Amino acid sequence: MWRLGSGNGPVPTAPAPDASPPEAPLRGGDPDPAPGGLRISLLLFLFGASIAFPSLALTGFLLERHWQAQETDIERRLEQVVNDLGGDIDRDITLMLANLTSLAASPDVIAGRLATVHANATTSLKPLGIDVLYRDASGKQLMNTRVPWGSELPTTSQPEIDTAVRQTMKPHISDLITGAIARRHVITVTAPVVRQGELQGFLHLSIPPERFLSTMRDQNLPPEWNTGLSDRKGVIIARLQKHEEFAGQKLPDELLTQSRQRVGVFRTTNVEGVKTVRAVYRSPLTGWLVSANLPQSVAHAAWLKDSSWILGITGTLLVLTLLLAMLFGRLIGRPIRALAGLASIVEHEQVPDPLQSPVQEVNAVALTLRGLAGRLQLRSRELVLALERFNAALRGADVVVYTLDRDRRLTWISTTAGAGSHAIGLRSEQVLPADLQASAIPIEERALATGEAQQGEVRHGAGDTARYFHLYVEPLRDANRTVGLLGVSFEITTLKQSERRNAFLVRELAHRSKNLLTVVQAIATETVRGSSDVDDFTDRFAARLLSLTRLQDLTVSGNGGAVDLAALIRSQLDPFVDPESARAVAEGPPVLLRAPAANSLAMALHELATNAAKYGALSTPAGRIDITWRADQDGAGQARFHMKWQERDGPVVVPPQRRGFGRKVLTRLTTAALGGTIELDYAERGLCWTVDAPWDRVAAQQDLPGTTTIREAAQ
């Protein structure tokens, strides 16, 4: 039983000891020398004292303090840079607001003398890169210094800006937008133009992002440093490095969230995917985010440079420590290696020579090994001989022996199990298949509970593939206490199969005898119907009896060569169908059947023909039978055999109320023999029986048949 294994793999056995006899006899007569040398504890103390623990601790402390100082300095410098840059930008915006407010309240703007405003703005602000445009309350542009005075101007909609100005009647600073005339990114500072308390229009300063880029460059930062300016929506307005590439892009959501929530210094990943140290300043005037960034690799470069010097000194100390360790390692390692060699000698059941080394403990262990080796030699010889006799007996009887502890964990199993050792220590539930657990574990538990030997029959698998074992379990005792179980298992599958086969043959013999009488009666009845006189009846009746004899030969044979499928079908139907009629038609390519498949199909066709003669299509003059077969390949490229028995024009089919032996032959036995799928359909129009099986389980020929089809009336 234990040889079967389970989902955890084959059940293992402990490896058998080496049966080769030892060569060196135990020496005697000479007294063993006293162990000498220094204690191993003293040697290890000297080795431990040579390790520079204080130096390593000091090195770690210095590196940590230096790291913290570098981090603090970088954070302070980033905060200073971002605050200075934010202040410069706010002052620039404040100045623009003041100029815009003054311009919006000027008489020329109030009076609508926009040509004068255009000329003055072109002279004073255009050289600074700032354009001025004026839109009336409806959004129609009336003036824009980007184009000459008098040019046709569009109506532009800036709902966000217009709404903010209308609601507050105060200047508004926009986010980054795209100008309708400029056709590029700009920032607008907008002031309302009011006359007699009513909004007349919007006066805008259009500021290119490069103006803020110029402010960033004026910071004169080192090349590795980067600054950036983004609007309230997180869109980049200006960037010190790669401005043209990133201006107008939105900050990643994670970076934007961090910048909004963590004003100050923090570590993140910038828009280029580089890990950076980032400082953020939120402008109280505009709501924009000003950032200063330094790659973490650059921030840590100075620390790494200083650390390399510290680590170099530490490495020198470690090299000295390793040299000392090598000296002490050799002093201790040589006798230990020698001791390992002695252990190898003992493993091969030989007696080692005495060992003399500087390590006292090693010498003492060597003496103990020498004494044990002699006793091990004698006992190993006895054990090897006993195991050889034991295993020979088990192999001859095909018996598996195993032991379990009180928790039913496997502790040993005989070599006859043919398994490995990885299952030693596992419980029965972890080793045995589920169906074996249900019958084997109760036997083991009863033996533990009662303290008496238990035995029983267990089964693995189901149907025709099931395997049977006889299991004997006996408690193992230590004094008066049960400490485990000894189990003995041997397979009785062949015996069980023989019993089932004999019972089956008896049932089959009785069944066939009854069917044979029915067939003979049907032959006589059918022959009488179609015979013109007694001589005609005698000839036909004798011919059909001869056909029945051929049928019996085919169904009981199968140990010889292949059987032609068409011939097999004819042999089954000849006793039931008039040779001159076309009531049964067989159609399909030439197929040679394997002997087991021929036997199975012969039994099935015999049952179908008998049933048709009694109750089906052959029981009435108008009934007919179509038998077709073919071979093809399924979706996986595997060859398949298909066969179909279809009855037509017979009496209305009534499904049987009882499942007898014939149905078992048509379904379970045929399925087991062919390894395929069998369907039996009691349709009212006529019984239908189909077969779908692997080609190699049915046919004796390897190649699939060609397209040539045999079509003939069964005769």
Q: Rounded to whole angstroms, how far apart are CA atoms 531 and 546? A: 17
pLDDT of 606: 80
Phi then psi for residue 623, to 5 deg, are: -70, 155
Average pLDDT rounded to a whole number, residues 161-176: 90
Residue-range domain boundaries for the chain: 497-713
pLDDT of 257: 84
Q: Are 104 and 191 in contact (CB under 8 A)?
A: yes
pLDDT of 549: 66
Phi then psi for residue 43, to 5 deg, are: -65, -40
pLDDT digits over 317-355, tens only? Answer: 777 776 776 777 777 777 777 777 777 777 676 777 777
Which residue is associated with the tokens 């840079």? 81
Decide if pLDDT at 18 tops 50.
Answer: no
Confidence bin at 16 (pLDDT 50/70/90):
very low
pLDDT of 11: 37
CATH architecture assignment, domain 497-713: 2-Layer Sandwich (3.30)
Phi then psi for residue 404, to 5 deg, are: -125, 155
Decide if pLDDT at 285 tops 80.
Answer: yes
Decide if pLDDT at 509 tops 70.
Answer: no
Decide if pLDDT at 441 tops 90.
Answer: no
Decide if pLDDT at 127 tops 70.
Answer: yes
C-alpha of 112 from chain center: 76
443: nearest Cα among 483, 487, 399: 487
For residue 579, give Cα distances in angstroms to 376, 493, 530, 549, 584. 87, 47, 11, 16, 9
pLDDT of 7: 37
pLDDT of 700: 85
Ranges of beta strands (E only) in 566-685 are 584-588, 592-593, 624-633, 639-648, 677-683
pLDDT digits over 447-457, tens only? Answer: 888 889 999 88
Sort strands 624-633 and 584-588 into parallel, antiparallel or unpaired: parallel
pLDDT of 581: 73
pLDDT digits over 512-563, tens only? Answer: 577 567 656 755 765 576 567 888 778 656 755 665 566 566 555 544 457 8
pLDDT digits over 673-699, tens only? Answer: 898 999 999 998 999 999 999 999 999
pLDDT of 88: 92
pLDDT of 219: 87
Q: Are 623 and 650 in contact (CB under 8 A)?
A: yes
Q: Which helix (H) or strand (E) holds 341?
A: helix 301-347
Q: Are 235 and 255 in contact (CB under 8 A)?
A: no
pLDDT digits over 94-104, tens only? Answer: 998 998 898 88
pLDDT of 677: 93
Q: Rounded to whole angstroms, how far apart are CA atoms 88 and 94? A: 10
DSSP 6: B
Confidence bin at 26 (pLDDT 50/70/90):
very low
Q: Rounded to whole angstroms, how far apart are CA atoms 156 and 204? A: 12
Q: What angle, rounded to 10 degrees, do the helices at 534-556 and 565-573 form?
A: 130
pLDDT of 267: 86
Strand order in the sheet with 639-648: 677-683, 686-694, 639-648, 624-633, 584-588, 710-713
Strand order in the sheet with 264-269: 236-239, 226-230, 289-295, 275-282, 264-269
DSSP 660: -
132: nearest Cα among 109, 111, 110: 109
Give the list of residues 6+ apart from residue 334 with CB closer than 8 angstroms, or none: 357
Least confident piece of the model among 201-205, 662-666, 688-692: 662-666
Decide if pLDDT at 641 tops 50.
Answer: yes
Least confident piece of the model among 170-184, 357-371, 516-530: 516-530
Decide if pLDDT at 628 tops 90.
Answer: yes
- Return the CA Rg of the chain: 51
